[in-house]
Amino acid sequence: MNGSSLMATSFHSSTTDSSTRHVFQRIRHELKRRWATVIRRENLGGDMLRLTFGGPDLADFNSPAFDDHIKLFLPADDTPIRSAPMDALVGRHYTPRYYDPATGELAIDFYLHETGVVTTWATQAQPGDEIVIGGPRGSTLPPNDFDWYVLAGDETALPAMARRLEELPAGKTAIALVEVARPGAEIPLPSQAAVTVIWVHRETASDSLADSLARLQLPPGEGYAWIASEASAARAARQVMIEQHGLPREWVRASGYWKRGESDQHVKLED
Ligand SMILES: Cc1cc2nc3c(=O)[nH]c(=O)nc-3n(C[C@H](O)[C@H](O)[C@H](O)COP(=O)(O)OP(=O)(O)OC[C@H]3O[C@@H](n4cnc5c(N)ncnc54)[C@H](O)[C@@H]3O)c2cc1C
């Protein structure tokens, strides 16, 4: 693989000693910073905006895993980006929603929350505007041999969840639990897999993401849970999957994708 190196990690089933089940592939990529230019903007509904980027630097972009993350770099003030020193730019994590190697186009879906350097920029971004993109640095490819998958998160996780559901093959079973602000903020989540989508409305529901996960009836067999949300909500959701639903820790991947009152947070929840 060009500019990338591959490792495989097997998390054995607790009921079989086969080392060929549940193998997670880890890929390291050469870390690059690339200039990217907005070529399209598209309102996805809810509070989600898609910006599609192009430009010669994206020709060798690579994002093999649905929860890959890149860093978007921008000036914190009105300085034109080409005049700002690289080390003065601020960075925020985002998910490559899709990359088309044929056209070199990269789409990123932005949740437009109340305030923030990137959110403000994205809200106003027009074709021709430029940004610097770093990464992805590494990818973890989950295996498709679990009996079922749970995906749970808020709007910041929606791009990764939508990508995972799109990439899951037919014959697989998934439950997606998505927290959005209010009724009407849902977006389509197409998949070839058998998917149950449950929407949780933050502004009106009394239940948190963790409460909703706790009430889930999980399918039989071995499952894998992927969770990303505000950090404390993701921590509580992870505990439910481990303590209440009994998933082995290594079959739960949970992250805080943002932290209330703080900027540029990525909290990996492991113990
Ligand atoms: C691995 C990873 C992948 C991510 N992928 C995506 C993605 O594809 N799309 C996406 O929209 N976001 C994604 N996020 C979340 C995004 O990085 C944060 O929301 C980020 O803080 C936004 O930057 P900002 O400059 O707009 O706000 P900041 O300047 O970072 O924050 C300003 C203020 O807004 C608050 N804030 C930040 N995010 C939210 C939020 N979601 N809701 C309410 N308040 C918030 C902060 O706590 C702070 O008080 C991802 C995060 C990680 C770690």
Question: In this predicted structure, what is the pLDDT of residue 194?
Answer: 97
Per-residue tokens: 50: 């898609």
Cα(246) to ligand 1 centroid in Å equals 30
Q: Which of 49, 63, 93 best tests ligand 1's pocket when mutated (most atoms within 8 Å of CB)?
A: 93
Domain termination site, one of 77, 106, 138: 138
Question: In this predicted structure, what is the pLDDT of residue 14?
Answer: 41
Regions in the chain scoring below 50 on pLDDT: 1-2, 11-18
| Same domain for 67 and 152 | no
| CATH code at position 224 | 3.40.50.80
7 in any annotated domain:
no
**Residue tagged 């295996």 (tokens):** 143
216-236 per-position pLDDT tens digit: 999 999 999 999 999 999 999
Question: In this predicted structure, what is the pLDDT of residue 266?
Answer: 94
| Same domain for 241 and 207 | yes
| Same domain for 182 and 128 | no
| Same domain for 262 and 178 | yes
Cα(210) to ligand 1 centroid in Å equals 20
Question: In this predicted structure, what is the pLDDT of residue 207?
Answer: 84
Question: In this predicted structure, what is the pLDDT of residue 22?
Answer: 93
110 in any annotated domain:
yes
| Same domain for 246 and 184 | yes
Per-residue tokens: 197: 């989508």
| Same domain for 175 and 240 | yes
| Same domain for 246 and 210 | yes
17 in any annotated domain:
no
User: Which atom number of ligand 1 is nearest to the Cα of residue 159?
Assistant: 8
| Domains held by the chain: number | 2
Question: In this predicted structure, what is the pLDDT of residue 20?
Answer: 78
Answer yes or no: are the C-beta atoms of 49 and 110 closer than 8 Å: yes
Q: How far apart are CA 31 and CA 144, in angstroms?
A: 27
Domain termination site, one of 90, 116, 138: 138
207 in any annotated domain:
yes
| Same domain for 227 and 134 | no
113-172 per-position pLDDT tens digit: 999 999 999 999 999 999 999 999 999 999 999 999 999 999 999 999 999 999 999 999
Pocket residues: Cβ below 6 A from ligand 1: 69, 92-95, 109-111, 113, 115-119, 156, 159, 257-264, 266
73 in any annotated domain:
yes
| Helix or strand run (H / E) with residue 144 | none
| Same domain for 246 and 213 | yes
Closest residue (by CA) to atom 32 of ligand 1?
116
The candidate with the shortest Cα–Cα distance to 198, out of 175, 229, 214, is: 175
Question: In this predicted structure, what is the pLDDT of residue 206?
Answer: 77
Q: How far apart are CA 155 and CA 48, in angstroms?
A: 8
Question: In this predicted structure, what is the pLDDT of residue 10?
Answer: 52
| CATH code at position 73 | 2.40.30.10
Closest residue (by CA) to atom 18 of ligand 1?
258
User: Which atom number of ligand 1 is nearest to the Cα of residue 94?
Assistant: 5
Question: In this predicted structure, what is the pLDDT of residue 127?
Answer: 98
Cα(11) to ligand 1 centroid in Å equals 31
Whole-model pTM: value is 0.94
21 in any annotated domain:
no
Question: In this predicted structure, what is the pLDDT of residue 5?
Answer: 73
Residues in the chain: 271
Cα(110) to ligand 1 centroid in Å equals 9
With residues binned 3-state (H G I as helix, E B as strand, rest as coil), the percentages for the chain, rounded to 5, are 20, 40, 40
262 in any annotated domain:
yes
Domain termination site, one of 138, 158, 179: 138
| Same domain for 132 and 75 | yes
| Same domain for 163 and 263 | yes
| Amino acid at position 38, single letter | V
CB atoms inside a 10 Å sphere around CB 41: 17
19 in any annotated domain:
no
| Same domain for 147 and 264 | yes
Q: Which domain holds residue 235?
A: 143-269
DSSP 262: B
